[in-house]
Amino acid sequence: MPRPEGARAPRRDVIDNPGSQRVTRVAALARRGQRTRHGRFLVEGPQGVREAVAHVPAHVLDLYVTEAAAQRHVGLLDQAHAARLYVHRVTDQVMAAMSTDAQGLLAVVSTEALARTAGLDEVLAGARLVAVLTEAQDPGNAGTIIRAADAAGADAVLLARGSVEVTNPKVVRATAGSLFHLPVISGLELTEVVEALHTAGLTVLAADAHGEHDLFEVDALLAQPSAWLLGNEARGLGPEALSQADAVVAIPVFGSAESLNVSTAAAVCLYASARAQYAG
């Protein structure tokens, strides 16, 4: 039957109630307890969503998009539809109720996306470069370190117990999708991590401002398969971590700054190792 003159064409279903149960449940995933209870977490923004769709599509449970974002990211949505993902159109108000940092694109992802390997021994088998966060509690720094490790070609990132929870929305955003590129394992005791690293044949290096080795003078050491221990944002590495390292390495400071931010220090150390390993 032809549409009456002047009638609007039917539009796709759009979620338009910010107070609906679905919207409330998604917004609640900003809280750790809800993420743990339901086994899912938020991925906010085009870059993170794009990488989740590309690398772990089987674990993307729902994707939410505003009309404006849908027009900007046609290719991403085509990829999501090709993967048979559940894509929901939402109003700007609904998106704001679910997340203020999504830039029009938000995905709900199963935590199983981060458990793609059998265990620590499998992750470390044949590894040449690993980052270990010992007490990283700032989510932005933790996510940035994961991104830097990915860029430097690291084989894994390990977050020892006492570090920030890896599905924290700020951590996920700061990784810019790198969370889905390499194994990221959390919740292990540092002693267990160091033992596994040694068993896998990796040299354990500690990044510390008072280290006895200069980062720019230890290429032979850096060329070996190794793992970097990285400390707390304010306190650095504690005595326990330093005592378990095979060598303590300092980044030279040529200017007047007292020290480097831990994520910056991590990037410098990881790239120094990558350079020495690839050059060899």
Percent of the chain residues topping a pLDDT of 90: 82
Helices (H) and strands (E) in the chain, counts: 13, 12
pLDDT digits (tens, 9 = 90+) for 48-103: 999 999 999 999 999 999 999 999 999 999 999 999 999 999 999 999 999 999 99
Q: Assess whether pLDDT exceeds 50 at residue 126.
A: yes
Is 0.75 topped by the overall pTM?
yes
pLDDT at 278: 86
Can you give the pLDDT at residue 257?
A: 87
pLDDT bucket at 10, cuts 50 / 70 / 90: very low
pLDDT of residue 232: 85
Q: How confident is the model at residue 12 (pLDDT cuts 50, 70, 90)?
A: low
Got the DSSP string for 167-196? Answer: T-HHHHHHHTTGGGTS-EEEEE-HHHHHHH
Residue 183 Cα distances to 9, 21, 55, 154, angstroms = 47, 33, 12, 10
Question: What confidence tens digit (pLDDT) does each residue in 187-211 have?
Answer: 899 999 999 999 999 999 999 988 8
Nearest residue to 209 (alpha-carbon basis) of 240, 272, 251 = 251
Q: Does domain 14-113 have CATH number 3.30.56.10?
A: no
Closest CA to 198 of 160, 159, 224, 163: 224
* CATH architecture assignment, domain 120-279: 3-Layer(aba) Sandwich (3.40)
Cβ 271 vs Cβ 152: under 8 Å: yes
Cβ 137 vs Cβ 233: under 8 Å: yes
Which residues, 6+ apart, have CB-to-CB distance to 72 below 8 Å? 46, 104
Identical fold, 14-113 and 120-279: no
Domain limits of the chain? 14-113, 120-279
